[in-house]
Amino acid sequence: MSATPQAVLTKRLHAALVACGLPPERGEVTAAADTRFGDYQANAAMVLAKEAKTNPRELAARIAGYFEAGDICLKPEIAGPGFLNFRLKPPWVSGQLRALADEARCGVSATKNPLRIIIDFSSPNIAKPMHVGHIRSTILGHALARIARFAGHEVVTDNHLGDWGTQFGKVLHGWKHLLDRDALERNPIAEMTRLYREVNALEQTDPAVHKAAREELVKLQQGDPENRAIWEQLVDLSWAEFAGIYEKLGVDFDERLGESFYHPALAPLVDQLLAAGTAQISEGAACIFFPDIPALTEKPCLIRKSDGGFLYATTDLATIEYRIERWDPQAIWYVAGAPQQLHFQQVFAAARRMGVGTQLEHVAFGSILGEDHKLMKTRSGDNVPLRDLMDEAVSRARAMIEAKNPELPAEEKEHIARVVGLGAVKYAELSQHRMSDYVFSWSKMLSLQGNTAPYLQNAYVRVRSIFRKLGSELGSVQEVVLTEPAELALAKKLLRFGEIVPLVLQDFRPNLLANHLFETANAFHTFYEACPVLKSGGVTEHSRLVLCAATARVLKQGLDLLGVQVPERM
């Protein structure tokens, strides 16, 4: 696999620094912020000038003098206080594009340090519907898993289901006294939700109902056969609903162990931590204190309440122990909302007190807002059901396709509607910085203009239409010669794909990949308008077809890493 431009330039910069008697590891080449001044740049002279006891521009000139530009770029230009700017040579770019055209991985090298990573994401609650709040964890976690696997890591995806807790006492009481069998048959999740809400409302005015619900929970926790059998039905019915949603989204999991799986381990874990002195009793509760961590000095991790009940932190610590024993991972990533930041700080600090050396990361994210810039809700104030949102996405995409291409066969329209509609929802999430709140706007996410999935999918479709007109695929790649500015600009974007993908996992930012794909699509459309492909003849036509084929492959591969499919027609 050929090296990226950044990798080649970095290697040559390091050689120049060594020749200058400077530490090579301090030299970093990055893509230029403004391509008017070059394609790549380095600030090594400014970083090293002080210890070299010289002026940054003078040092930049020394480094440039030792830099072997050779076939890759022009002699480095010195700009501003001491930047080194590099301009790639068109023949080198042409040769790299030819090499890229034959690479299955579109220029992305596998990591030299593969890890076994567990990614914990989605995690809906049993007996409740998945709603809009589950979009970010589900889609972000799935994309990170795909990208990490593509990068060469071994990934275990785990859906840590909320299948244990006080809500089940209420649902069990409702199941025994208020259940509508016909409603359960029609819509199990809706009926379970109704039972929970009705019992919850009754508890507010009738202490006897509260007591009865609590007793049902205790019976479940103690293994009562009847309650256990009902609970298993709740889990099965809920998972059947969830599985349908995951199937439509193209999301799957290696594990789906819920909180109930770890419940038997909680009491022994707390006893073990107390015996080891890791936890102490405070006001009747078992806690892990962190006097040496300023942010947590007055925020201990509670692992058993004074009434003997356990907490989410207890379950999470038992889960970490199980995962380490079962999988021996080097890292565990938790894709969960930003409001859970304190919880994970406490759990991770407690895990380290337990001797856990595995890297633990909270991949936090912001909220999805409605067009009123408030948390997205239905008119009645409820969370928007995820199934309803997905159905609406497909319906809106179908209407768009019907208007654009009414002559397409019905089956193909339906396929394209799913690909475009669901892709639009996924991409709207992944094109944002994960910590940003964003407004969920149908008109924006389904637009054929701007940074949207339909815009990128349409760019792919436009490329494929060129090959349909040609009547064949590219075939073997021959000499590539790029001379036009639009050709070179597109080729450079394509060559950067191999530089962008590894950056995504550094701070869990799929938006870097999404934005690069958007820039690539923009570069393609500029090229498409400026450079006729078919009938341009000879080497020029072949070179432009290579550009087109590489664009289609990069867009398809990049969107696939984000979990977004591409249609052949729209």
Residues with Cβ within 8 Å of 441's Cβ and at least 6 positions away in sequence, in order, are: 371
Q: For residue 26, what pLDDT is reported?
A: 84
Q: Tell how strand 29-31 and strand 40-42 pair up.
A: antiparallel
In whole angstroms, what is the distance from residue 12 CA to residue 273 CA?
A: 54
pLDDT one-digit tens code per residue, 39-48: 999 999 999 9
CB atoms within 10 A of CB 281: 11
Q: Domains in the chain, start-ordered, CATH in brackets?
A: 5-88 (3.30.1360.70), 167-249 (no CATH)
Contacts of 19 (CB under 8 A, 6+ apart): 66
CB burial readout 293-315, b (16+ within 10 A) else e: eeebeeebbbbbeeeeebbebbb
What dihedral angle (degrees, nearest 10) is formed by the CA atoms of 216, 221, 225, 229?
80
Write down the pLDDT at residue 376: 78
Any residues with CB less than 8 A from the CB of 113 and at least 6 apart, and which? none
Residues counted in the chain: 570
Q: What is the pLDDT along the chain (570 residues), one digit of tens a residue?
A: 578 999 999 999 999 999 999 999 888 999 998 888 999 999 999 999 888 888 999 999 999 999 999 999 999 999 989 999 999 999 999 999 999 988 899 999 999 999 999 999 999 999 999 998 899 999 999 999 999 999 999 999 999 999 998 889 999 999 999 999 999 999 999 999 999 999 999 999 999 999 999 999 989 988 999 999 999 999 999 999 999 999 999 999 999 999 999 999 999 999 999 999 999 999 999 999 999 999 999 999 999 999 898 999 999 999 999 999 999 999 999 999 999 999 999 999 999 999 999 999 999 999 999 888 888 776 666 778 899 999 999 999 999 999 988 999 999 999 999 999 999 999 999 999 999 999 999 999 999 999 999 999 999 999 999 999 998 888 888 899 999 999 999 999 999 999 999 999 999 999 999 999 999 999 999 999 999 999 888 999 999 999 999 999 999 999 999 999 999 988
Which residue bears the tokens 């898993």? 145
Q: Please, are residues 447 and 454 in contact by the beta-carbon 8 Å criterion?
A: yes
* pLDDT single digits (tens) 373-425: 888 776 666 778 899 999 999 999 999 999 988 999 999 999 999 999 999 99
Q: Which helix (H) or strand (E) holds 281?
A: strand 280-282
- At 429, which helix (H) or strand (E)? helix 410-430
Q: What is the pLDDT of residue 257?
A: 94
Closest C-alpha to 50, from 77, 22, 30, 72: 22
Query: What pLDDT shows up at residue 3?
Result: 85
